[in-house]
Structure 1
Amino acid sequence: MLIDIFHDTVCPWCRIGKKHLFDALAQRQEQEVHIRWHPFLLDNTVPAEGYEFRSFMQNRKGIKAEEIQQIFDNAQRAGEAAGVKLDFDKIRLAVNTKLSHQLIALAPANVKNDVVEAIYQAYFEDGLNIGNFDVIVAIGTAYQMDASELKSQLNDRAVSDAVIAESTFARLNGINSVPFFVINDKVKVNGSHSVEVFLETLNRAALLDIPAKI
């Protein structure tokens, strides 16, 4: 089974959706699964140093402080129900996620899923700036990526351009929100949904017996 996941690393619902999907996949252990991660940059105009988080989110959504807190509370409760931590009190900066997606693209296949989760944890649990070069290098080296080589690759304009191009391609092909999942190039799921919904979708995709193109 082939699963394409479009996400951004500062999207709380993407982390929740990932957890729900992986919990559903755990109930289908008999089937080999290949996952491809795709960047969807929610705001590539954010500078490397980031913006103050709460004021940025209020301005972005055009709402008051108490309303943005309600949004955070709802997401945090959904995260707790899913089994993931979303500590919005720890998050100080709205950050640019391009560099984090470059790391995901560069990560070896056998640790890529773990690197994705480590990035989510760094932002939503530790409140780190995942748009910071040193933070991203530290995450990569924790998964046995060579520091010197990784720094060179992250500074490669071609890697950066590829992330932007892929994010733009997703939007041009009708994806306007994340998380967004495509199973076996055919069955689409838009949103975080429940484990049960993902399990039903995975079962339906398997029954369709669509060849996966890797």
Structure 2
Amino acid sequence: MLIDIFHDPVCPWCRIGKKHLFDALAQWQEQEVNIRWHPFILDNIVPAEGYEFRSFMQDRKGIKAEELQQIFDYTQRAGEAAGVKLDFEKIGLAVNTQLSHQLIALAPAKIKNDVVEAIYRAYFEEGLNLGDINVIVAIGTAYQMDATELKLQLNDRAVVDTVVAESAFARLNGINSVPFFIMNNQIKVNGSHSVEVFLEALNRAVLLDIPVKI
């Protein structure tokens, strides 16, 4: 089973959708699963130092502080129901996620899923700036990636261009929101649906992948 995941680490619904998918996979266990993570940078104009989080979100959505808090409260409850922590009180900055996507791209396959989760945790539980290269390197080194080599790779223009191009390519191919999941290049799930929806999608992907005997 091949699963392509388009996401951005500052998207709370991406974290919720990821949790629902992985919970579904824990129940499913029908086939070996290969997960490919794809960048979808929500806002690449945010500078490395970030913007003040709440004012940025208010301006972006065109709403008042009270309305924004209601959104945060609702999303936090959805996270709790899924089993993930979304601490909006800890988040002080709206951040640029390009570096975090570069880290995911550079992480070896055996630790990639863990690195993705660590990035989500860094933002939604610790409120860290994902646009700070030192924060990103610290996440990588926690999973035995070499700090010196990682800094060089993160500053490599080819790595930067690949991540930005892949994010743009997703939009050009009709992906306008995340999370977005594709099973076996056929079954698409747009959004952070329930575990049951993901189980149904996985089973449908298997059925479509069965060769027809003539």
Considering the TM-score relative to the shorter chain, is it more than 0.5? yes
Contact in 2 for aligned 1:39/1:101 (Cα 8 Å)? yes
Deviation string 1:167-196 (CA, Å, 9 cap, x unpaired) is: 000000000000000100011000000001
Given the alignment of the two structures, is residue 46 of structure 1 paired with residue 46 of structure 2, yes or no? Answer: yes
Is the partner of 1:144 in helix, strand or coil?
coil
Aligned residue in 2 for 1:33: 33
The equivalent of 2:207 in structure 1 is: 207
- CA–CA distance in structure 2, aligned partners of residues 131 and 194 of structure 1: 31
Please give the secondary structure, in 1, of the residue aligned with 2:28.
coil
Tell me the matched-pair count.
211
Q: Which residue of 1 aligns with 2:180?
A: 180
Residue in 2 that maps onto 1:98: 98
Q: Provide the C-alpha distance between the structure 2 equivalents of 1:210 and 1:91, rounded to a whole number of angstroms.
A: 46
CA distance in 1, matches of 2:167, 2:209: 28
Give the partner amino acid of 1:44.
Answer: N
Aligned residue number for residue 171 of structure 1: 171
The residue number in structure 2 matching 1:143 is 143
Q: For 1:104 and 1:37, locate their aligned partners in 2 and report how far apart those are by CA, in whole Å.
A: 8
- SS for the counterpart of 1:111 is helix
Secondary structure class of the residue paired with 2:193? coil
Alignment-mate amino acid for residue 28 of structure 1: W
| Cα contact 1:47–1:95 (8 A) shared by 2 | yes
Residues in 2 aligned to 1:114 and 1:70: alpha-carbon distance in whole angstroms:
31
Match of 1:4 in 2: 4
Structure 1 segments (4+ residues) deviating >4 Å: none
Q: CA deviation at 1:210?
A: 6.0
Residues 40 and 167, structure 1, Cα contact 8 Å, conserved in 2: yes
Taking the aligned partners of 1:28 and 1:19, their CA distance within structure 2 comes to 14
Give 1:30 deviation, angstroms: 3.6
Identity of aligned residues (%): 84
RMSD of aligned residue pairs (Cα, Å): 0.9
The residue number in structure 2 matching 1:159 is 159
**Residue 134 (structure 2) aligns with:** 134
Counterpart CA distance in 2 for 1:48 and 1:159 is: 17
Q: Is 1:123 aligned with 2:112?
A: no
Q: Which secondary structure state, in structure 1, belongs to the residue aligned with residue 109 of structure 2?
A: coil
> Corresponding residue for 1:107?
107
TM-score normalised over the length of structure 2: 0.97
Q: 1:204 to 1:90 in 2, by over 3 A?
A: same
* Length-normalised TM-score, structure 1: 0.97
Distance 2:172 2:29 in 1: 34
User: Which residue identity is paired with 2:112?
Assistant: K
Aligned counterparts, 1:46-85, within 5 A: 46-85=46-85
Which consecutive residues of structure 1, in runs of 5 or more, have no partner in the other structure?
none
1:24 maps to 24
